[in-house]
Amino acid sequence: MSLQVVVGFGPAGAATARTLVGQGHEVRVVTRSTHPAEDGIEFVAVDAAAGDRLAEVAAGASVIYHCAAPPYTRWPQELPALTAGVTAAAEASGAVLVLLNNLYGYGPVDGPLTEDLPLAATGRKGRVRAQISQDVLALHRQGRIRAVEARASDYFGPGVTAGGHLADRVVPAVLRGRTVRVLGDPAMPHSWTYVPDVASALIRLGTTESAWGRPWHVPTVPPETIQAMVTKLCEAAGTAPVGVRRVPPALVRVLGVVSPFIRELDEVRYQFDRPFVVDSTACAEHLGLAPTPLSEQMRSTVQWWRGASPQAG
């Protein structure tokens, strides 16, 4: 098996690294800070924005997975330099670059999201997500690197804690039998991407030459409302149904005055106030990848939260 380099160890990076270890690969994870030892993973503390240093770490790698992101409020300032460092390392090492991106770059869209839609976002975070996509794929077209992009919707699943719309604001409340409070309209259909499916898609894309040079949507189950997702989480947990209440928009604006994270969410509020539907049939048809059944997603998510946070119930 070959050396695989994973940049970033958030939920997607961690799932990718552990899946690669399970497949027998040599895995090197690059983060800014040190991490506790983990079987099969070599951790290297490097600022990935330093492309020359990252190139040294990635020497001999067959694939580099770019799963890193700065703090949410720092994307416009830091994400371009971070991605430039990773692309420089891919060019120097000759490794295939798999870019993990999200769906912000499309901006508001009427109808399902498909990979052929223009990247027409006007907000700061959407534009920077669009820009890194365009930069990476342009380098591929120029023949300087071999690259492919995976785009995922809102994560949930094992290991997804702070920041996810189905994470620390939802699952612990379900397990404790408490009302769930959400920032958007709980009755709007929304696509949710399961983190293990992200890892599977990234790994397949990195080794499928016919997929390189374009974006792909990670396999994602049909959209569900937040209300429906909460109901399914309750069923998986074997708990009584809980209420779902929207945080009043006026209160969200007040919270945004003191919380930079809440304030930044205003740009993508459309994703939760109107249908937000991902079409991932292209990935299924070309790569033969299907999303994990929703019932299994729910079971694994509940099981992980109970193990990670026993007080949750």
N- to C-terminal Cα separation, the chain:
41
3-state secondary structure of 162: coil
Q: Which of 74-78, 94-98, 103-107, 166-170 bottoms out in mean pLDDT, i.e. has the lowest?
A: 166-170
Instruction: For residues 232-244, give the mean pLDDT.
Output: 96
Task: State how far the alpha carbon of 1 is from the alpha carbons of 75, 149, 253, 283, in Å.
Answer: 34, 23, 51, 25
Cα–Cα distances in Å, from 33 out to 6, 45, 189? 14, 5, 38
| pLDDT tens-place string over residues 136-193 | 999 999 999 999 999 999 999 999 997 767 888 899 999 999 999 988 899 999 999 9
pLDDT at residue 48 greater than cutoff 60? yes
| pLDDT over threshold 90, residue 61 | yes
pLDDT given at position 24? 96
* Closest to 194 (Cα-Cα) out of 295, 299, 65, 291: 291
Dihedral over alpha carbons 219, 223, 226, 230 (to 10 degrees): -70
Residue type, position 170, single letter: V
Residue 66: count other Cβ atoms within 10 Å of its Cβ: 30
Q: Which two tokens stand for residue 226?
A: 């937040």
Report the C-alpha gap between 280 and 204 in whole angstroms. 15
* Region 287-297 average pLDDT: 96
Q: Say yes or no to pLDDT of 247 above 90.
A: no
- CA nearest neighbour of 106 among 14, 33, 215, 250: 215
Rounded average pLDDT over 258-268: 83
Per mean pLDDT, which range of 18-27, 89-98, 163-172, 183-192 is the poorest? 163-172
CA dist 100 and 170 (Å) reads 25
Average pLDDT estimate for 92-121 = 97
- Predicted confidence at residue 311, as pLDDT, reads 47
Listed residue (150, 289, 293, 294) closest to 217, CA to CA? 150
Confidence of residue 312 (pLDDT cuts 50, 70, 90): low
If you classify domain 3-155+193-221+279-287 with CATH, what class do you get?
Answer: alpha beta
Min mean pLDDT across 62-66, 266-270, 278-282, 286-290 is at 266-270
CB 50 within 8 A of CB 32: no
- Tracing tokens 């690669």 back to the chain, one arrives at 20
- The mean pLDDT of 124-128, rounded to a whole number, is 96
**Parallel, antiparallel, or unpaired: how do β-strands 180-182 and 154-156 relate?**
unpaired
Task: Give the strand pairing for 154-156 and 192-194.
Answer: parallel
Predicted TM-score (pTM) of the model is 0.95
Place of tokens 């006007």: 122
Nearest to 28 by CA among 39, 42, 17, 8: 42
The phi, psi pair for 303, rounded to 5°, reads -60, -45
- Run of H or E residues at 260: helix 260-264
Q: Average per-residue pLDDT in the chain? A: 94
Burial class (CB in 10 A: 0-12, 13-18, 19+), 11: buried
Give residue 260's pLDDT: 81
Q: Label residue 200 by pLDDT band (50, 70, 90).
A: very high
* pLDDT above 70 as % of the chain: 98
**Span 34-63, mean pLDDT?**
94
Q: Identify the pLDDT of residue 167.
A: 87
Q: What CATH fold (topology level) applies to the domain 171-188+224-277+293-312?
A: UDP-galactose 4-epimerase; domain 1 (3.90.25)
Q: Where are the domains of the chain?
A: 3-155+193-221+279-287, 171-188+224-277+293-312
Q: Could you give the CA distance from residue 306 to residue 245 in angstroms, rounded to a whole number?
A: 23
Assign 309 a pLDDT band (cuts: 50, 70, 90).
low
